[in-house]
Amino acid sequence: MFTGIVTDVGRVRAIEKRGDTRLVIETAYDTAAVDIGASIACSGPCLTVVDKGPGWFAVEASAETLARTTIGGWREKSRVNLERAVRVGDELGGHIVTGHVDAIGRLIDRTPEGDSVRCRFEVPETLKRYIAEKGSVAVDGVSLTINEVAGARFGVNIISHTRAHTTLGALAVGDRVNIEVDVIARYVARMVEKD
């Protein structure tokens, strides 16, 4: 489990396509303190550390992960939002994030608004029921508050700190992003469905 509070922006060092795709990611994390088998959210998807060395760790992405996330479009030197799994007793600064991406969204508009930037995203129609004004959403692993909703589109404000310390500051209109809806919204919707 994660909180959507990014603690490092890593960089893809290498991509090896074999049975699954192996990605080597450079990081500022003290990798001596990262266990093999640990979970790290990599721009949203929860991936398992399979190898590591000083300043880097490796993960594997299955064909399913590549098809349902933006990882299939990553290249060497791609920047990646990183968050280590939350531990019992850690502060929940964002919201509960599972690292299970629901869909790929797309940035459709980016407008300066004070010191922030208002970003509007479009998601598949199937997700619109989980998107609510003042609710939470994870975009490329970053916990954000939804400010506006119009059908399958929603807007968020990206403050200067978030722009500087995540990959969201470099997003351009048309870019694809990993979307994870609020897990509580997902379960509430399931509970109220008629059989």
CB 79 within 8 A of CB 86: no
Nearest one of 21, 20, 14 to 56, comparing CA atoms: 14
pLDDT, averaged across the chain: 95
pLDDT of residue 93: 84
pLDDT of residue 183: 87
| Low-confidence residues in the chain, pLDDT < 50 | none
CA atoms in the 13 A half-sphere facing the CB of 143:
20
CB 97 within 8 A of CB 4: yes
CB 51 within 8 A of CB 40: no
Q: Which domains does the chain have, with CATH numbers?
A: 8-84 (2.40.30.20), 103-192 (2.40.30.20)
pLDDT of residue 195: 57
pLDDT of residue 91: 79
CB 59 within 8 A of CB 25: yes
pLDDT of residue 90: 82
Instruction: Give 65-104 pLDDT, tens digit per residue.
Output: 999 999 999 999 999 999 999 988 887 788 889 999 999 9
DSSP H helical segments within the chain, as ranges? Answer: 63-68, 160-165, 183-192
pTM, whole model, 2 decimals? 0.94
Residue 49 is inside which H or E element, if any? strand 46-53
